[in-house]
Structure 1
Amino acid sequence: MPRQSHHRDVRLWLSPNNECSYMWNNRIVIVWQLTGCIEFLTNMRHGYAQMERIYIDWLFCY
């Protein structure tokens, strides 16, 4: 189902070398190791993401 254009599109996924990329509006803004990624995702889910109605997708790329 297509996302509504007025919502921000955030994608997070694991690369084969266990890095996590954070993509916002089709631009990769930060890449970090797995531990930091999970910590960041937790913060997003409990705070900023909910307020800003950010959709978070996990794409596991092995």
Structure 2
Amino acid sequence: MQLYRFLSADDTSEFCHKVTAALNKGWVLHGSPTYAFDAANGVMRCGQAVTKDAPGDYHPDIKLGEQ
């Protein structure tokens, strides 16, 4: 099955660590990163889609962050 996640965080090293951790668990970057101003909180936010091939069948109870 193909899994998909969208990672997001404030524009800090936390975001880079989140993406790096996913890459080291076998996730692959999908598309370009996004960068936008969060007016409600007054901060820049980053986002990156990642995908991963995994055995088994998809079901909505899968905890994507644990894959």
Per the shorter chain, which TM-score range? 0.3 to 0.5
What's the TM-score, normalizing by structure 2? 0.35
Higher strand share: 2
Higher helix share: 1
What's the TM-score, normalizing by structure 1? 0.36
- State the structure with more CA Rg: 2
